[in-house]
Amino acid sequence: MNIRIGEIFRVEWPGNRNKNEVPGKYRSYYELTQGKHTVGADINKGIWAYKEIRETNTKFNRRPAILLHSNPCKEASLDVPWIDIIEPDNGSAIYNGDNRKLSTPSTARGNDLLINLSRFYNTPELRIYAPPILLFTQHITNGNRRGYRQFSGYGIPTKYVLQSQSAKDIYFTNLVLEIALFNLDKENDSFDWKWIDARRDSSTTAEAALRLAPSAWKLWVLQGDDVIEHCRRKVARNRVVCSKDQLPETNGDIELLEKLVAAFRPNRYAFEGLAALIAQRVIGNNCVRGWVTKRSGDGGVDFVCRLDVGTGLSRSSMVVLGQAKCTGIKTAVSGHDLARVVARLQRGWLGVYVTTGIFSEPAQEELYADRYPIVLISGKRVVQEIKLIMNTENIGFEELLSRESKWYQEHIEPVDAGRIVDQTMFGTEFTPETD
């Protein structure tokens, strides 16, 4: 069976097909994972691997593959306190393990499996036996939050991190994986399941099975970590994003974004503080928040940040001008709105526009055609960052808004944006002694 990244599969145990399912519209996840063998994946486990098999003519056992399931419909809930970040088009994923107890992360079944298999990815002579990670994501289909999974790609873990998390007022440590998702460029974006079937066949050697692997996987087995970035999946796509793809995907995300808009309705200007934080996170760790401008006469600039590049003698900084707009989640930012920020940009400066709504397609087309350096952050990304902040900092929604509203009130400055690159602006404040 050949499958494609983004393909959706129906999920059910054999013989329990949904009666409302359109025949032939979606292939079976269980039949896919079963392949030519008799047993398919356990659909109830988020981390699952095929049983070990004996490598031909050796006493060595190998794992054919690991299947990971991410469910964004449950993320950041009491039962699932973590948030997975799955980005197939950028060839990356951050996946949280399955520990939820006051115990070491390795005591959880899935985490223990992942930790014990880490040596296959880190040891050159074992790479040929390393089990590929096959990532599937729960997908809302025909209004159903259950019963469908989307193939998000295949790859290897590149980093293992221990992170503090909480659920139902219980704090614990969990395993978090960074995963590099590999490309299928030479396979015309088609993944051949014969490779997985061959890896499950005890009569087929690892070397013979490797001949059926995607080219990117073969290259990694041969050269290791040095070629991970070359193997990583990167999708070149039209930069214009349609309106529906800028909106939150789940009911929970929509409710959270609407709650955010309602919270700032009495004072929409206070959203500028939170917008500056969102911009800082999206741009990256080298972005520093500065201040927000006064309400009148801001000339299309609501907040100012600084982006640092390099260190020491090789360090340079640029001004980041930000505009914030707290609107209805389907309200579109126009080209005229973006033009106000563009008009304030000087050479070498960066613009950022943060909205709880969306960006119109004509506005995006105009911006990209003129190659203006402006980062666009729609409501969908705003709510994603808010959930990440709440999860990683163990902070509640109301507490977060209160904190950022306070930051806004304390950082209203009538200062020229260019002063942000002056390091003396970020010294330790003190009150001079007087007689």
- What integer is the mean pLDDT of 154-161? 95
- What integer is the mean pLDDT of 241-260? 92
- What integer pLDDT is reported at residue 14 of this predicted model? 62
DSSP string, 378-414: -HHHHHHHHHHHHHHHT--HHHHHHHHHHHHHHTB--
- What integer pLDDT is reported at residue 429 of this predicted model? 44
Residue 317 token pair = 């900084």
- Answer whether residue 421 shows pLDDT above 70: yes
Buried residues in 339-370 as b, exposed as e (16+ CB within 10 A) = eebbebbeeebbbbbbbbbbbbeebbebbeee
- What integer pLDDT is reported at residue 1 of this predicted model? 85
**Residue range 2-231, CATH number:** 2.30.280.20
Cα distances (angstroms) measured from residue 87 to each of 179, 245, 289: 10, 14, 27
- What integer is the mean pLDDT of 88-96? 91
- Answer whether residue 64 shows pLDDT above 50: yes
| CA–CA distance, 419 with 376 (Å, rounded to integer) | 24
Residue 86 token pair = 């799955």
Summarised one tens digit per residue, pLDDT across range 167-201 is 767 788 889 999 999 999 999 999 999 999 999 99
- What integer is the mean pLDDT of 286-312? 84
The model's pTM: 0.60
3-state SS assignment for residue 375: strand
Query: Which stretches of 55-197 are assigned E, i.e. beta strand?
Result: 61-62, 66-70, 85-87, 92-96, 133-138, 148-167, 170-181, 190-192
The residue ranges of every structural domain in the chain are 2-231, 243-426
Contacts of 11 (CB under 8 A, 6+ apart): 29, 30, 43, 146, 147, 148, 149
- Answer whether residue 373 shows pLDDT above 70: yes
- What integer pLDDT is reported at residue 216 of this predicted model? 97
| CA–CA distance, 90 with 155 (Å, rounded to integer) | 12
Work out the mean pLDDT of the chain and round it to a whole number: 88
Summarised one tens digit per residue, pLDDT across range 255-273 is 999 999 999 999 999 999 9
| CA–CA distance, 251 with 232 (Å, rounded to integer) | 32
The residue that leads in pLDDT, 351 or 237, is 351
The residue that leads in pLDDT, 116 or 236, is 116
Q: Which CATH fold topology does 243-426 show?
A: Trna Endonuclease; Chain: A, domain 1 (3.40.1350)
3-state SS assignment for residue 157: strand
Look at strands 133-138 and 66-70 and give their pairing: parallel
- What integer pLDDT is reported at residue 282 of this predicted model? 94
- Answer whether residue 228 shows pLDDT above 90: yes
- Answer whether residue 424 shows pLDDT above 50: no
- What integer pLDDT is reported at residue 315 of this predicted model? 85
- Answer whether residue 21 shows pLDDT above 60: no
Buried residues in 157-180 as b, exposed as e (16+ CB within 10 A) = beebeeeebebeeeebbbbbbebb
Residue 428: pLDDT band (50, 70, 90) is: very low
- Answer whether residue 147 shows pLDDT above 80: yes
The partner residues of 173 in beta bridges, in order of sequence, read 164
